[in-house]
Amino acid sequence: MKTRNLSIILAACALAAACGGGPADQTAEHPSSPGSDSLIPRSLLLGNPEKVGPQLSPGGDMIAYIAPVDSVLNLWVMDRDGSDPRQLTFDTNRGVTDFFWAEDGVHILYMQDEAGEENTHVYRLEVASGEVLDLTPFDGVKAYVSAVDEDQPGTILVEMNRNNPMFFDVYSCDLATGGLTMLQANAGLDENGDVILGYFSDEHLVIRGFATIDQETGEITYFVREAAEAPWRELIRYSALDEVAPRAFSEDGKGLYLTSNLESNTTALYYMDLASGEETFIAGDSLADVGGITTDPNTGVPVAVTFNYLRRRVQVLDPSVQADYDYLSTVREGDFSVVSQDRADSTWLVVYYDVQNPATYYLYDRTAHQASLLFEAIPALGSYELAPMEPVLIPSRDGFQLPCYLTTPLSGTPPFPMILYVHGGPWARDYYGYEPFVQLFADRGFAVLQVNYRGSAGFGKEFLNAGNAEWGGAMQDDLTDAVGWAVDQGMADSSRVVILGGSYGGYAVLAGVTFTPDLYCCGVDFFGPSDLVTWRETVPPYWRPLDAMMDIRVGSLTADSLMLEERSPINSVERISVPMFVAQGANDPRVVKAESDQMVEALRAAGLPVEYVVYLNEGHGFAVEANRLDFTGRVEEFLFRQVPGVRCQAFEEVPGAQVSVE
């Protein structure tokens, strides 16, 4: 069985990442931009990739992947040797990006919404005929595949909130007919009055576990049972300040693989015997939480685990794959991951990535011990030299070491104009590697600083919990301290520092220009909350079960109402003194359009300069290539007007972009 959504996700508001890459266009000359003919084209960095995301069929004879058709990402399939490529989907709207092979090897399953509202449907695609069936044809419902089982290839588990928008029920779906059978209804509350967060299954598609959260304390409890009709029993209860995440049941159903930080600051990987409750330590790292886990495709036993502090580290757990990892480390430069395996575990798809290259895929034959190039996501990038990224540790004012990444332009001398690029989440993080916005801005002459401020995920619970109720407080201080460090190091020109970010990063932009008005020369906010009270009141209904956790992470609407009001930029607009650029998706369910509307209205009422663009067919991020290129071009022009000494590719309206300049 392969489980796709086993852990309870406590993070919210993560920025939807833009796809990078695509065919190059011609660089337009900007009237005041010397050397603009040598710029890396926007469409190469922020357009669609040429090919991306390959997945092996269970039998290993075919490879499905994503490639654009008329600027829309669609599913394709080819034979294992790369021959006979053929288009499978013919979407002309938002494209297909989330897919995987069904265990029968006959179908591909993919999830897709209509216009960024995140009400995803589950589709079944028959590879041979191209027939597509919507398995969840219900309006206003969010659905996803939660588990599949190689021993039951004609059945999948689907979760959706059809009966109550706050809670997800579990259904068994017959792939042949599309029929849905309710397996487990979510009543919303358990017998103790705790909110039921969700259910998870064992390796044979039997619902064997669920999680609850205490509405007052945020404590989380996991329950398990021995079989489908057996009584539930409490497995573990832990504080909202800790983290325990079940990853998978063992194949025999007697144990559970989980990550936990109950005995340490960072999460470690354990095996728990369900009968005795005894835990066996498997792997951990003192600086970073557990990242990705690679498992044996048949037994589900972990064979390798990754940790990522400043750079990615792989720990091989199974000696039988040590030689494979040793060989793959010699194939080319950069970090690599095993992204797909056939059922026999004789063929792997491996992706390599580094700062210069977002993704290069290899087909690895374990029997022959030989890797062969499959394709590159953006082969045209090979014609350009990209800017170097350096991991740095920046001290905060109260003693934390902030893991950061500094990218500097290839030409010019410091101090540079600098962009502070704030990641979303905030319970997410920045990584070392290729990032299209970073490379775009560095190519235009900016240094770019990415800061993993307190509250960022992946660095242990002490660092994460230090961000609790610190939106606009200590989290913002970390960003301020990082800018001060860059100025003190002589890397950044203090008069030319831009703050830019989306989602929580957008909030940090608004907070930065409000609470530290002399630090930045301008701000770029996309999808950012402007009022912490109204934002919390308008989140999607399926976030409501996590209200107790949001009270801890952000602040309570009752007990902390004054603090939330004080840290809402909308309430201190008069302190802003720099030009602003604001972008919003019209259908965003996470940060609704009213958040940007009210901020722009307040800025204009105060006589402050602001540019406001709304993308009519987007939600919390950019899925449509034309919109992504339109947004990037407008931002580039805005920054060129505000920041002396940078270069710019002239902006022209992008055909197909559904944008309203308001």
Write out pLDDT tens, residues 574-630. 999 999 999 999 999 999 999 999 999 999 999 999 999 999 999 999 999 999 999
Side chain identity at residue 568, one-letter code: S
pLDDT given for residue 23 in this prediction: 29
Arithmetic mean of pLDDT, 192-206: 97
Percentage of the residues of the chain whose pLDDT score is greater than 70: 94
pLDDT given for residue 35 in this prediction: 47
pLDDT given for residue 37 in this prediction: 61
Query: How far from the centroid of its chain's Cα atoms is residue 532's Cα?
Result: 22
Whether 90 shows a pLDDT value over 70: the answer reads yes
Q: Is residue 14 part of a domain?
A: no
pLDDT given for residue 8 in this prediction: 31
CATH number of the domain at 413, please.
Answer: 3.40.50.1820
Whether 631 shows a pLDDT value over 90: the answer reads yes
Q: Is residue 480 part of a domain?
A: yes
In b/e form, how buried is each residue of 411-445, taking b as 16+ CB within 10 angstroms?
eeeebbbbbbbbbbbbbbbbbbbbbbbbbbbbbbb
pLDDT digit string, tens, across residues 130-163: 999 999 999 999 999 999 999 999 999 999 999 9
Relative to beta strand 492-502, strand 580-585 is: unpaired
pLDDT digit string, tens, across residues 230-281: 999 999 999 999 999 999 999 999 999 999 999 999 999 999 999 999 999 9
Q: Are 121 and 143 in contact (CB under 8 A)?
A: yes
Nearest CA to 631 among 639, 33, 509?
639
Percentage of the residues of the chain whose pLDDT score is greater than 90: 94
pLDDT digit string, tens, across residues 408-436: 999 999 999 999 999 999 999 999 999 99
Q: Is residue 283 part of a domain?
A: no
Return the higher-pLDDT residue of 20 and 506.
506
Per the omega criterion (within 30 degrees of 0), is the bond before 231 cis?
no
The chain-wide mean pLDDT, for the chain, equals 94
Q: Is residue 634 part of a domain?
A: yes
Give pTM, 2 decimals: 0.94
Whether 371 shows a pLDDT value over 60: the answer reads yes
Q: What is the domain count for the chain?
A: 1
In which band, very low, low, confident or very high, does the pLDDT at 292 lie, cut at 50, 70 and 90? very high
Q: Is residue 419 part of a domain?
A: yes
pLDDT given for residue 10 in this prediction: 27
Whether 335 shows a pLDDT value over 70: the answer reads yes
Q: Is residue 73 part of a domain?
A: no
pLDDT digit string, tens, across residues 2-51: 544 333 322 222 223 333 333 233 333 343 344 456 899 999 999 999 99
- SS3 for 406-437, per residue? EECCCCCCCCEEEEEEECCCCCCCCCCCCCHH
Look up residue 260 and give its two tokens.
């936990």
In which band, very low, low, confident or very high, does the pLDDT at 358 lie, cut at 50, 70 and 90? very high
Look up residue 620 and give its two tokens.
């919390």
Q: Is residue 172 part of a domain?
A: no
Return the higher-pLDDT residue of 22 and 492.
492
Arithmetic mean of pLDDT, 224-232: 96
pLDDT digit string, tens, across residues 50-70: 999 999 999 999 999 999 999
User: Which domain covers residue 591, as residue numbers?
Assistant: 385-661
pLDDT digit string, tens, across residues 161-181: 999 999 999 999 999 999 999
Report, as residue numbers or ranges, the catalytic residues. Answer: 503, 588, 620
Q: Is residue 611 part of a domain?
A: yes
pLDDT given for residue 24 in this prediction: 31
**Cα distance between residue 204 and residue 247, in whole Å:** 15
Arithmetic mean of pLDDT, 78-106: 96
Q: Which residues contact 240 (CB under 8 A, 6 or more apart)?
A: 217, 218, 219, 220, 548, 549, 552
